[in-house]
A and B are shown apart, each in its own frame.
Chain A
Amino acid sequence: KAGVTQTPRYLIKTRGQQVTLSCSPISGHRSVSWYQQTPGQGLQFLFEYFSETQRNKGNFPGRFSGRQFSNSRSEMNVSTLELGDSALYLCASSLRVDRASYNEQFFGPGTRLTVL
């Protein structure tokens, strides 16, 4: 079974621009979560989507948004980029379908975003 794929793997943008990152989950996985990894803050949860609906959101400004399509693929968008948005953005997929079940999250390789 193919793993989680993320595109692009590397991206360089300048301040003020916007960026869209893409994530394709493992086949059959309907939950997709996004995380930001930086040296200072570690891995931080951005948001989670299931069946095209955002079910959970972390403490990030509104410049960070996402969506999920009917085939479970997900995109995240960052508008008005700031230098501090430079990070590794990770997508994870899971089988989790309800609050009572525990399912592991499987991560993609990430997209390295550099903001100049």
Chain B
Amino acid sequence: DQQVKQNSPSLSVQEGRISILNCDYTNSMFDYFLWYKKYPAEGPTFLISISSIKDKNEDGRFTVFLNKSAKHLSLHIVPSQPGDSAVYFCAASPAGGTSYGKLTFGQGTILTVHP
């Protein structure tokens, strides 16, 4: 049972435009969400996070939106740059003792930004 889903395996965007990556989750115990970027042969790099008490968090070109009622979050990258081309993973963590160190990841979305 996949508790975190990224339904779009890939996304292609023109440089300078907005990239929107989507993520859905099913476990209502999740209350902390993160986005990671991953290049081939490297470990994931942390981008931005959001807790369930917020519905938006911004950091430079990256904004994450959380819709708890829909169990949906999205990552907006504006403006998109060719260097943003990578695999993007959504991850979630529940509060409480069962969450120690455990992130549940989606399958990833390959973002390609064309010059």
Chain A residues with CB under 8 Å of B105's CB are 35, 42-44
Kindly identify which residue among B44, B51, B89, B95 contacts A99, using a CB–CB cutoff of 8 Å: B95
A48–B32 touching, CB < 8 Å = no
Chain B residues with CB under 8 Å of A33's CB are 101-103
Instruction: Check if B66 is an interface residue, CB within 8 A of chain A.
Output: no
Could you tell me which residues of chain B, from 30 to 56, have a CB within 8 Å of some CB in chain A? Answer: 32, 34, 36, 41-46, 49, 51
Instruction: Check if B107 is an interface residue, CB within 8 A of chain A.
Output: yes
Chain B residues with CB under 8 Å of A35's CB are 103, 105
Could you tell me which residues of chain A, from 1 to 49, have a CB within 8 Å of some CB in chain B? Answer: 4, 6, 31-33, 35, 42-45, 47-49
State the interface size on chain A (CB cutoff 8 A).
32
Instruction: Check if B99 is an interface residue, CB within 8 A of chain A.
Output: yes
How many Cβ-Cβ contacts under 8 Å join chain A to chain B? 79
Shortest Cβ distance from B107 into A: residue:
A42
Chain A residues with CB under 8 Å of B104's CB are 45
B44–A56 touching, CB < 8 Å = no
A42–B101 touching, CB < 8 Å = no
Q: For this complex, into which size category does the number of interface residues on chain B fall?
A: 20 to 34
Main secondary structure of the interface of A (DSSP, over half): strand
A56–B34 touching, CB < 8 Å = no
Kindly identify which residue among A42, A56, A96 contacts B106, using a CB–CB cutoff of 8 Å: A42
Instruction: Check if A72 is an interface residue, CB within 8 A of chain B.
Output: no
Could you tell me which residues of chain B, from 56 to 115, have a CB within 8 Å of some CB in chain A? Answer: 89, 91, 93, 95-108
When chains A and B are docked, how far (Å) is the Cα of A109 from the Cα of B45? 10
Kindly identify which residue among A48, A58, A109 contacts B42, using a CB–CB cutoff of 8 Å: A109
Q: How far is the CB of B26 from chain A (nearest CB, A)?
A: 15
Could you tell me which residues of chain A, from 87 to 114, have a CB within 8 Å of some CB in chain B? Answer: 90, 92, 94, 96, 99-100, 102, 104-110, 112
Kindly identify which residue among A31, A44, A90, A94 contacts B43, using a CB–CB cutoff of 8 Å: A90
Could you tell me which residues of chain A, from 44 to 95, have a CB within 8 Å of some CB in chain B? Answer: 44-45, 47-50, 55-56, 58, 90, 92, 94
When chains A and B are docked, how far (Å) is the Cα of A23 from the Cα of B52? 31
B101–A31 touching, CB < 8 Å = yes
